[in-house]
Amino acid sequence: MATARCACGEIVLTIAGEPNATVLCHCKDCQRRTGAPFGVGNYYTPDQVRISGSPKVYERGTDSGNRMRNFFCPSCGTTVYWLAGPALDRLGVATGTFDEPDGAVPVRSVYEARKHDWVDTSCIALRYSLART
């Protein structure tokens, strides 16, 4: 059981089980969402995650033509989680919002065309290949 929360604590997620994947994303939307050079999210099925609090929603389109919903705290602005995928059934939790590091390491690094030159993801490619063997 893991917990994740926004900066002020109004939005709290209680998460059961392991993530399906942890993904590092360099797209411009993740850069703007986080204010950092890339975003990192742990992906779950929605039934693994219990949500308390009343987040606001920011919905946007994606390059692949799907919708994406970011859920953020109206008081402190932290985006704690989002729904993605064609059926909006992949629940991503911002890795930085966990109370304790859960030990999950990224298996993929995506949108590298937008990657800042100084960010080195070679270790992630290695972990991906190890995870697949």
Site residues (vs Zn ion, CB under 5 A): 6, 8, 10, 25, 27, 30, 73, 75-76
DSSP 96: G
Smaller CB distance to Zn ion: residue 98 or 133?
98
Smaller CB distance to Zn ion: residue 15 or 40?
40
* β-strand pairing of 21-25 with 56-61: unpaired
How far is the C-alpha of 14 from the C-alpha of 68, rounded, in Å? 22
> In whole angstroms, how close is the CB of 9 to Zn ion at the nearest point?
6
> In whole angstroms, how close is the CB of 74 to Zn ion at the nearest point?
8
Residue 44 burial (C-beta neighbours within 10 Å; 0-12, 13-18, 19+): buried
Question: Residues 16, 42, 64, 34: is their CA dihedral positive or negative?
Answer: positive
> In whole angstroms, how close is the CB of 62 to Zn ion at the nearest point?
9
> In whole angstroms, how close is the CB of 25 to Zn ion at the nearest point?
3
